[in-house]
Amino acid sequence: MPTSSDIARRCETEDIDLVRLLFVTPNGVVRAQSVAADDIATAIDEGVPASKLVHAYNALGFRKKDGRFDAAGEVLLRPDPATFRTLPYADRCGGMLCDVRTLADSPWAADPRTTLSSLIETIASADLVPSVAFESEFHLLAEKEDELVPTDGRGAYATASTRDTHEFVLAVRDALADQGISVGKYYPEWGAGKHEIVLDHGPALTAADEHVLFKETVESVAATHGYQATFLPKPATHSTNGCHIHCSLWDGSNNRFAGSDGISETAASFIAGVLEHAPGLTALTAGTVNSYARLRPQVGATAFTCWGYGNREALVRVPGHAAGATDAVRIEYRAADNTANPYIALIGLLAAGLDGIKRELSPPEPLDSDPGNLSVDERDRRGIERLPTTLREALTALADDRVLRNALGAELYQTYLDVKRSHWEAFTESAATWERDRLRNVY
């Protein structure tokens, strides 16, 4: 583990003048304070005061006036030296991920990163280590005649799209490599301007940290190329952006998800737990109103509580792998998007799956077809239910899910619920204004 002195020396030798202290608030927005490189050792050893209030903001930058945090109150940003990177897209600048702690320098119960770290420690006590990878989709846009339009044409895996955006993709790959982040795969997706980059698997906390750095990198490199990158779940009428989460559990060098013929009983129980907690889990992995415009049947996302081998319309997909490649056995959770706080999303996914393992749950039979093509009676017979169709519905399910509430802890759970309910209220208020304006023109 590097020390504060190690980081200070790196800043000096690498000509870094500012260091961004990055953290993600419950609404999923990446935030930062920057400190002078000359002060970075003190920042690491003692922390940097920050307002509690920012953790109560919804995605629109507003908060409930009677919410949990008022104008008074501060916390400490404690940079994690192991996460230090020189940021290749920002001149003379470094970056670090932070835990948020109390002014007394104890863990703050409303901090998502700290809460995920605690859950990982609990899992480790059972000799299990989660391996995680984030698979992010985004749209790349360029300004043309005062309008933002896709940089390339539509077509999944289309070589024309790879040619149109080759320099940008190379720049992203190089910038990530400079930060020690490995790209496993890249390809253009179905929608015009839509792209997907898959990061390599890693320990859960590292994967979440690198996902934050990945999003910062894509948006920054896009700007330097004259583009705008958007991770919005439903950015256009005929396209979506997801953030699929790949996960497996390991015991040393043994992949506990690998069975003698497919997946193990451990993996099956994990899947069963995810399916059982799916309604409340969706509130943690699809955290905006816009998210539910994506989670609809037959649009290449997911809309139903089912699982299957290679089934891209299922909530949980077991990806294919070469015969004998037991290291590659994993599950893919598909109801997540990039508006989620990655630490909170992993808390929910791991807690749901581990509850299935603890209770030795068994999943239903895997589905080898599109659930949207089944009749209602057939879905009922198979126990396949519709995922929440609105953020409000998902939040109600979260409030009723004891396992997920306990995994978050009372402080983070209530903070998250307040922030997301505020988001929903802002949406419904704006919808009322839209309705009045439209109907006034009619009547």
Measured CA to CA, the distance from residue 288 to residue 240 in angstroms comes to 14
Point out which residues pair with 122 in neighbouring strands: none
pLDDT tens across 195-225, in order?
A: 999 999 999 999 999 999 999 999 999 999 9
pLDDT tens across 42-79, in order?
A: 999 999 999 998 998 888 888 777 777 777 789 999 99
Q: What is the mean pLDDT of residues 112-121?
A: 98
* SS3 category, 176: helix
pLDDT at 439 over 70: no
> Which residue, 112, 401, 131, is CA-closest to 273?
401
322 pLDDT band, cuts 50/70/90, is confident
Total Cβ atoms within 10 A of residue 127:
12
Tokens describing residue 393: 């519905």
Tokens describing residue 97: 């991920």
C-alpha distance across the termini of the chain, in Å? 68
Q: Angle at Cα 305 formed by Cα 300 and Cα 309, nearest 5°?
A: 65
Q: What is the mean pLDDT of residues 151-180?
A: 86
Per-residue confidence (pLDDT) for residue 326, from 0 to 100 = 84
Alpha helices, H only, 305-360: 342-358
Alpha helices, H only, 296-358: 342-358
Higher local confidence (pLDDT), 337 or 56: 337
Point out which residues pair with 259 in neighbouring strands: 262
Q: What is the mean pLDDT of residues 27-42?
A: 96
Percent of residues, the chain, with pLDDT higher than 70: 98
Handedness of CA 228, 390, 300, 176 (dihedral sign): positive
pLDDT at 160 over 90: no
Q: How much is the CA Rg of the chain, to the nearest whole Å?
A: 22
443 pLDDT band, cuts 50/70/90, is confident
**Mean pLDDT rounded to a whole number for the chain:** 93
pLDDT at 158 over 90: no
Measured CA to CA, the distance from residue 26 to residue 420 in angstroms comes to 9
Q: What is the mean pLDDT of residues 265-279?
A: 98
Measured CA to CA, the distance from residue 328 to residue 382 in angstroms comes to 28
pLDDT at 137 over 90: yes
pLDDT tens across 346-389, in order?
A: 999 999 999 999 999 999 999 999 999 999 999 999 999 999 99
Handedness of CA 388, 391, 397, 403 (dihedral sign): positive
pLDDT at 325 over 80: no
> Which residue, 42, 37, 26, 169, is CA-closest to 95?
37
Per-residue confidence (pLDDT) for residue 116, from 0 to 100 = 98
256 pLDDT band, cuts 50/70/90, is very high
Q: What is the mean pLDDT of residues 90-107?
A: 97
428 pLDDT band, cuts 50/70/90, is confident
Q: What is the mean pLDDT of residues 412-440?
A: 85
pLDDT at 226 over 90: yes
Q: What is the mean pLDDT of residues 318-337?
A: 89
Per-residue confidence (pLDDT) for residue 368, from 0 to 100 = 93
Measured CA to CA, the distance from residue 376 to residue 384 in angstroms comes to 9
pTM: 0.95
pLDDT at 159 over 90: no
Q: What is the mean pLDDT of residues 388-410?
A: 98
Residue 443 has, within 13 A of its CA and on its CB side, a CA count of 6
